[in-house]
Structure 1
């Protein structure tokens, strides 16, 4: 009887252990993800970002749930929700030939033709801010946050996937608008009206004054920049389908000539420098000849003056001077 009870007790303990193990495994398998989901249901934003939250639960739709403003505290966003983070501070998009400063690797210049057909390299920077209005952020995420854009390396990103995603969005959506605005504005000016040295390699009958030409170039570049700032905001609003970008300002930094045209300008400037040097030498020779002629005319009118000049030109220490004698000038012996 005691043996039967002992066997029953051992079986009961084994059953309890198995039950405890099963419960522990179930707790790990179920409780762990549940706890993780609960803890992950809270989000917050930094000082330079805003977030658009979309539902992502097993039984939820994928619609926008809420918008979290920048610099928020811990906010409940629901279980398995997706958070799309966007920049909240002023951003810029730089177009420059200096690879270290450009937004993309390598040379990045907008090449547009002038009114007289010269391709000109335009460099500048676009400054803007993403609209922080909640309705605008919702519309922006619906329109652009749900699709991917191809980056410079060929990979595709959502615009909320860090700097690479944001840059891919700017390259594919914003950059073509900038290029088009620059093309339409620069095309209304001749090359020499934006870069004065361009006149050196173009057929022209009139030589502009250097000071006036430089002033005209600066004024024309300012006109291009003003026109771009006026048209760019409207064009971006039309292209994006809403006022998603605000405080738009474009700084036109540089207008450069193509390498071949610039080489021709350099050669022309070198040639002009040589001509100027030759003209200076001619002018110097003419001045010396005129001075010699005037001096000789004076000697012809005053022979005594000529003798006096000859005496002044003699070395110091002359003891005998006999004009006409080969040995007419004798120096004292040491």
Structure 2
């Protein structure tokens, strides 16, 4: 073997290392590596756990998916993943539903491979995560909320805490099966849900506000009537005690219409003849 051939053989492994690739997963990620060489059929090679780094060949492929609990927010805030969900109650009144859906993607190796090959590959190898959630979480969520709301009225959900709790529980109980039906497997686990009080249509909110203001005005009027009645009772008691004429004088003194000047004991007071 000449020197030139030996040098080439020694350098060859270094070329493989320099042209190879690696996948580094964060603590909330899990990965997959597929053998995708030009002379072989693409096939699964290995799973990559969270917080790991694995090297693979230059022709192979790697994919990453979320690991650990995730939160899917629906509402109007900046942190929301999707807008408020609109459903109709038993009377056909449109209600806005705001809340949070918590879940975990099942990253068990065999299950994650199935999820990737069945669903992830249709969404850019899992890179279009919002697209996956829109189909396999959002649609089942809408279905579960719609079915739970159809049997209740907005007044029950908005004003009765017990009815609202029952409604929320119905959604929680039916949601896992709806998600599994949509995905065709137990790919999402640890599903939990919290729903806020439904958002009413503006015209209905305005009516409730007007009713509340009218009720508050009625209460205020009742309080004023009670105050006036107590005052009248006190005046009648004074009239009975002092007589009507004396009460008029007493009232005039209280209102400042008649001034009373203090007179020292023994002082002589001269009154005009007409005032005697």
Question: Which category of TM-score, normalised to the shorter sequence, fits these structures?
Answer: 0.7 to 0.9
Residue 128 of structure 1, CA deviation:
0.8
Q: 1:131 to 1:311 in 2, by over 3 A?
A: closer
- 2:226 paired residue among 283, 298, 317: 283
Map 1:131-280 → 2, pairs under 5 A:
131-148=106-123, 158=124, 160-161=126-127, 165-196=128-159, 217-280=160-223
- Are 1:316 and 2:261 an aligned pair? yes
- 2:35 paired residue among 55, 68, 80: 55
1 CA distance for matches of 2:274 and 2:15?
123
Q: Given that residues 84 and 145 in structure 1 are in contact (C-alpha distance below 8 angstroms), is that contact kept between their aligned partners in structure 2?
A: no
Q: 1:135 to 1:289 in 2, by over 3 A?
A: same
Q: 1:122 to 1:159 in 2, by over 3 A?
A: farther
The runs of 5 or more residues in structure 2 that have no matched partner are 1-7
Instruction: Answer with 249-258 or 279-288: which moved more.
Output: 279-288
- 1:102 paired residue among 76, 80, 89: 80
2 CA distance for matches of 1:307 and 1:248?
78
Q: Given that residues 53 and 64 in structure 1 are in contact (C-alpha distance below 8 angstroms), is that contact kept between their aligned partners in structure 2?
A: yes
1 CA distance for matches of 2:49 and 2:201?
46
Residue 307 of structure 1, CA deviation:
10
Q: 1:54 to 1:244 in 2, by over 3 A?
A: same
Residue 289 of structure 1, CA deviation:
2.1
Residue 118 of structure 1, CA deviation:
2.2
Residue 230 of structure 1, CA deviation:
1.6
Q: Please list the CA deviations of residues 201-252 of structure 1 after superposition, one character each: whole Å capped at 9, or x if unmatched.
A: xxxxxxxxxxxxxxxx222222222222221111111110001011110111
2 CA distance for matches of 1:246 and 1:310?
80
1 CA distance for matches of 2:248 and 2:212?
50
1 CA distance for matches of 2:51 and 2:251?
96
Residue 268 of structure 1, CA deviation:
1.9
2 CA distance for matches of 1:282 and 1:147?
72
Q: Please list the CA deviations of residues 153-176 of structure 1 after superposition, one character each: whole Å capped at 9, or x if unmatched.
A: xxxxx2622xxx212211122101
2 CA distance for matches of 1:38 and 1:55?
18
Larger radius of gyration: 1
Q: Given that residues 96 and 199 in structure 2 are in contact (C-alpha distance below 8 angstroms), is that contact kept between their aligned partners in structure 1?
A: yes
- 1:114 paired residue among 86, 89, 95: 89
2 CA distance for matches of 1:280 and 1:326?
48
- CA RMSD across the alignment: 3.1
- Are 1:90 and 2:62 an aligned pair? no
2 CA distance for matches of 1:74 and 1:62?
18
Give the TM-score normalised by structure 2.
0.80
Q: Given that residues 37 and 80 in structure 1 are in contact (C-alpha distance below 8 angstroms), is that contact kept between their aligned partners in structure 2?
A: no
1 CA distance for matches of 2:149 and 2:139?
15
Q: Given that residues 69 and 103 in structure 2 are in contact (C-alpha distance below 8 angstroms), is that contact kept between their aligned partners in structure 1?
A: yes
